[in-house]
Structure 1
Amino acid sequence: MRQKREELWGKTLTGLAIGLVCFLVLAILIFVGAKGLTMFIQDKMSLREFFFAGHWDPAHQEVGALGMLVTSFLVTLTAAVIASPLALVLAIYVSELASGKIAKFIQPLIEILVGVPSVVYGLLGLEIIVPLVRTTFGGTGFSILTGVLVLTLMILPTVTSLMIDALKAVPKHYRQASLALGATQVQTINKIVLKAAKPALLTAVIFGMTRAFGEALAVQMVIGNVLQVPNSLLSQGSTLTSTLTMGIGNTIFGTLPNNALWSLALVLLLMSLIFNLLIRLVSKGAKK
C-alpha cells in the first residue's frame, strides 16, 4: 500500500508539472499571438507591407519590416556558415585525434565559453572587431559583417560542445570494425563516424542558428542599428531583436508603435518554433 501511494503521488506530481508547463507554453503562444495580430486586425495594417516593405516608422503608419527580416536571416545564416565548419574541425580534433589530457583540457574550456554572457561578446566586438573592420574595409566599423563575426564567436562554443557530444555518442565498435577492415583513421572518421553522427551534428547547427537568431544585445552593440534593407555585409542594419529591445520601452501600450513591436515578437516566436520543429524532424530522421 505504501508503494502504491508513493507511486500515485509521483504520477500526480509529474502530471501537474507537465500540465503546468503545457499551460505556460500555451499561455505564451496565445498572449504573444493575440498581441502580434492586433496591428493587422485592430490597426488595419497590411500584412503584405509588413513583410515586403522596407520603411519602418510606425508613428507615421509605416510598418515595413523587410530590412529587419533580411538582416536577421543574413546575420544568422552567415554566422552559421562560418561557425559550423570551424566547430566540426574542433569537435573532430577533441573527440577523435587529441590525446586524453589535451581533450580533458579543451572540452571544459569550450563549455566555459558557452556560459559567457552575450554582453561580454558585445564588448569584445566593440574593442576588437569594430576597429578591425574599420581598418580593413573603411567606414565606421559598425556593420552587418561585424555582427556576423560577433555572433560567430558566440555560437562557436555552443555548436562545438554539441558536436563533441554527438561524435562521442557514436559507438566505439563502429570505429574498431572500420579499422579492423583496413581503413585508416581519417577514412573511419569521414566514412563512419561523421555519417553516424550526421543527424546530431545537424541538430547542433540548428541550435546554434536558434541562438544567433534570437540574440539581441551583442548584435545591437556592433551592427549600427540603422533601419534599412542592407545591400552588402558592410552595410549597417538592425535585426528584429535589436529593434524590439530598443523600442519596446519607448512606446505606449495599445498604440500602433507598440503593436508593431509585438508583431516583431510574434515573428521571433514563430521562427523559434520553426527551428524547434527542424530539430524534431532531424531527430526523427535519425531514429528511422
Structure 2
Amino acid sequence: MDPIKNKIQNTSKETRQDLYGRIISYSCIILIVVVVLSIFFFVASKGIATFTINHVNLWNFLSGKNWNPAVTDDSGHAELGALPMIVGSFGVTFLAALFATPFAVGTALYMTEIASHRDEKFLQSVVELLVGIPSVVYGFIGLSVVVPFIRHHFGGSGYGILSGAIVLFVMVLPTITSMTVDSLRAVPRFYKEASLALGATKWQTIYKVILRAATSGILTAIIFGMARAFGEALAVQMVIGNNAVMPKGLFSSASTLTSVLTMGIGNTVMGTVSNNALWSLALILLLMSLVFNIIVRLIGRKGRMQS
C-alpha cells in the first residue's frame, strides 16, 4: 500500500509543478505581449496627434522638405517636412548594408569553409568584441578618423551620409557576419559532400551549393543588420552633421530620424506641435521596425518552402 500511496503523491506533486510551470510561462508571455502592445499604443497615440490635433496633412508631413516646427507657413501650420530625415535614414542604412554584406559573407565563408579551428575561434572572438563595443565609442572613432579623412580627401566638412554609412558599416558587420555563419552552418552536410562527389571543385561547391542553400538565411541577416542601422542614433548623430535639409550628395551634412529625435525630444514641451511632430517621427521608426520584421518572416517562410 505504501508504494501505491507514494506513487500517487509523487504524481500529484509532479502535476502541481507542471501546473505552476504553465502558469509562470503563460504569465510571462502575457506580460511581454502587454508591454509590446502598450509601447505601440503609447507611441501611436502620441504620433497621430500631429495629424488629429494639430491638423497637419499626412502627405505633406511625409513629402515636405522643410523641417522647422517653430516656423509656420502661409496656412498657419508649422513646417513639418520629414522627407529629409527619411531620406537620410534610408541612405545611411542601405549604404551601410551595401558596404557590410560582401565583408560579412566573405568572413562567414572563411570561418565555416576555409579557416582552421584556431583561426575560426580567433575571428569569432573578434566579431564578439565588435558587438560589445558601445555606440558612443564608434561615434568618437568616426568623429576622430572618418570625418577628418573624408574632409581631407573629398572636401567639405566631412560630415554627411557617407561618414554615417561607414560608421554603421562597422557596427552592423558583426551582426550580419554572426547570422550568416549560423546560416552557412545550417546547410546540410550532405549537400557539400554530394557536390564534391560529383566532381565539383571546392569553390564551385561554395558558390553553386552552399551559398544558394543559405540564401534565405543570408538575406535575413542583411535585413536584421539594416534594422539595427536604421534605428541607430548616437553614433550616426556624431558624424552625419544633423542638418535637417534634403541631402545633396554623400558628402553634404544631413540628418536621420533618430538624430532629430535625440536632439529635440528633450527640448520640447509635451503636447506642443514640436513634441507631437517628434513623436510622429518615432512612430515612423516603429512602423519601419515592424516592416523589417515582416520582411524577415516572409524571407524565412520562402526559404522553408524552397527547402
**Alignment of structure 1 residues 161-240 onto 2, 5 Å:** 161-240=178-257
- CA drift of 1:189 comes to 0.6
Offset, 1:58: 1.1
Question: Is the Cα contact below 8 Å between 1:133 and 1:141 reproduced in 2?
Answer: yes
Structure 1 counterpart of 2:28:
17
Kindly report which structure 2 residues correspond to 1:1-288, keeping only aligned pairs within 5 A, or say none.
Answer: 1-60=12-71, 61-288=78-305
Query: CA contact under 8 A between 2:84 and 2:244: conserved in structure 1?
Result: yes
**Aligned to 2:48, what secondary structure does the other structure show?**
helix
Give me the TM-score of the superposition, normalised by structure 1: 0.98
Question: Which amino acid counterpart does residue 122 of structure 1 have in structure 2?
Answer: G
Report if the CA contact (8 A) 1:111-1:158 is conserved.
no
**Equivalent residue of 1:59, what SS?**
strand
Q: Structure 2: where are the runs of 5+ without partners?
A: 1-11, 72-77
Tell me by how many angstroms 1:15 deviates: 0.7
CA distances 1:41-96 after superposition (whole Å, capped 9, x unpaired)? 00111111111111011122110011001111111011111111111111111111
Q: In the alignment, residue 292 of structure 2 is paired with which amino acid?
A: F
Q: Write the distance in 1 (CA, Å) between the matches of 2:160 and 2:50.
A: 30
Amino acid at match of 2:65: G
How many pairs does the alignment contain? Answer: 288
Identity percentage of aligned residues: 52
CA distance in 1, matches of 2:301, 2:184: 18
Bigger mean CA deviation after superposition, 12-21 or 108-117: 108-117
Gaps spanning 5+ residues in structure 1: where?
A: none
SS, match of residue 241 in structure 2: coil
Contact 2:160–2:250 (8 Å) recurs in 1: yes
Report the Cα distance in structure 1 between the residues aligned to 2:133 and 2:290, rounded to whole angstroms. Answer: 25
Q: Tell me if the contact between 1:240 and 1:264 (Cα under 8 Å) persists in the aligned partners.
A: yes
Aligned-partner SS, 1:228? coil
Give distance in 1, aligned partners of 2:264 and 2:290.
24
Deviations 1:186-221 (A, max 9, x none): 011111111111111000000100000000000000
Which has more radius of gyration? Answer: 2
In 1, the alpha carbon distance for the partners of 2:99 and 2:130 equals: 18
Per the TM alignment, residue 158 of structure 1 is displaced from its structure 2 partner at its CA by 1.2
Deviates more, 1:235-244 or 1:91-100: 91-100
- Which amino acid counterpart does residue 50 of structure 2 have in structure 1? M
User: Is contact 2:156–2:252 with CA below 8 Å preserved after alignment?
Assistant: no
One-letter code aligned to 1:5: R
Q: Distance in 2 between matches of 1:105 and 1:227?
A: 42
Alignment partners' CA distance in 1, 2:88 and 2:157? 18
Displacement of 1:28: 0.8
Instruction: Give the letter for the 1:132 counterpart.
Output: F
Please tell me the residue identity of whatever aligns with 1:186. W
Deviation at residue 107 of structure 1 after TM alignment: 1.3
Deviation at 1:127, TM superposition (A): 1.0
Q: Aligned equivalents of 2:154 and 2:246: distance in 1?
A: 20
TM-score (norm 2): 0.92
Q: Which runs of 4+ in 1 moved over 4 A?
A: none
Is the 2:227–2:292 contact (alpha carbons within 8 Å) kept by the matching residues of 1? yes
Q: Distance between the aligned counterparts of 2:35 and 2:195, measured in 1?
A: 48
Q: Following TM superposition, by how much is the alpha carbon of 1:7 offset from its aligned partner in structure 2, in angstroms? A: 1.0
